[in-house]
Amino acid sequence: MPKFAANLSLMFNERGFLERFAAARAAGFDAVEFLFPYAFEPEQIAGRLRRYGLQLVLHNFPPGDWAAGERGFACDPRRIAEFQNSVELAIDYATELGVPRLHCMAGKLPPKVEPERAHATFVSNLRFAAEACARHGIEVLIEPINDRDIPGYFLTRSRQAAEIIAECGADNLFLQYDFYHMQRMEGDLAHTLRERLPIIRHVQLADVPGRHEPGTGEINFPFLLKLLDELGYEGWVGCEYIPQGDTVEGLAWLSQFDLIRGKVASRQL
């Protein structure tokens, strides 16, 4: 079955961020992901990864002013120099933390910027990021995000992402496919998985509505995760969901759907 990584930005939030690494290991996870590491020194995170034998599989480029509502700025033609500096910062962290891939958030369409200009800026910035990351053996991912959670987000459809990836022409630029966002925007998840699998390098999950654990909403996760196996997907599946209650108690979905090799269930459930 698929390999699952705990998203430490959303899961185990009963604890402070740096304590979530131990909690993820205790719950049976071998890998983690999170949104951003930049509030901490790289060694603080690297030390916890080593101590608990965890692999960090993904984090994002800097998003801009998150508290003010920014969600990336890669499509903003007025902030190209800032974006290029953010790429270098992300690479500094990624190389120290051993991260194989970074997610580049497109950001919201800036005021008074035409979509065509935002598109051209995003493509140019992605080419810059991909070339810089390639020198360190790092992949760059882009992720369509639903525009109900983030109104005005520039990248919202898997076809749009696929076309941008093709236009960029970078060998290390791929798709990050999130079941939650794409169910809200597109549906037809199984067909899209089959069609987009050659460019997918990371998958994330949460149920709809609510963005909670699998089994709390409408998505047929046993079917989709089995399909990932049948299609030969070998990457990680990030558990980027908001637990309805206690994180560990919520991990019962893994056992219920028989989607693990017994590790999480035997340790905690």
Q: What is the pLDDT of residue 255?
A: 81
CA 87 to mean position of chain CA atoms: 17
Using one digit for the tens of pLDDT, what is the confidence trace for 207-221?
999 999 999 999 999
Closest by CA to 201, choosing from 224, 173, 221, is 173
Tokens for 71, please give them: 């969600």
Q: Are strands 101-103 and 31-33 parallel, antiparallel or unpaired?
A: unpaired
Using one digit for the tens of pLDDT, what is the confidence trace for 177-209?
999 999 999 999 999 999 999 999 999 999 999
Q: Quick one: which H or E segment has residue 204?
A: strand 200-205
Q: Which residues are catalytic?
A: 143, 240
**Is 262 a residue whose pLDDT tops 80?**
no
Q: What is the pLDDT of residue 177?
A: 98
Using one digit for the tens of pLDDT, what is the confidence trace for 30-52?
999 999 999 999 999 999 999 99
Strand partners, 103: 60, 141
Q: Are 14 and 248 in contact (CB under 8 A)?
A: no
pTM, to two decimals: 0.94
**Is 263 a residue whose pLDDT tops 80?**
no
Q: How far apart are CA 104 and CA 37, in angstroms?
A: 14
Question: Residues of the chain with pLDDT > 90: what percent?
Answer: 93
Q: Quick one: which H or E segment has residue 175?
A: strand 173-178
Q: What is the pLDDT of residue 145?
A: 98
Q: What is the pLDDT of residue 268?
A: 41
Q: Quick one: which H or E segment has residue 173?
A: strand 173-178
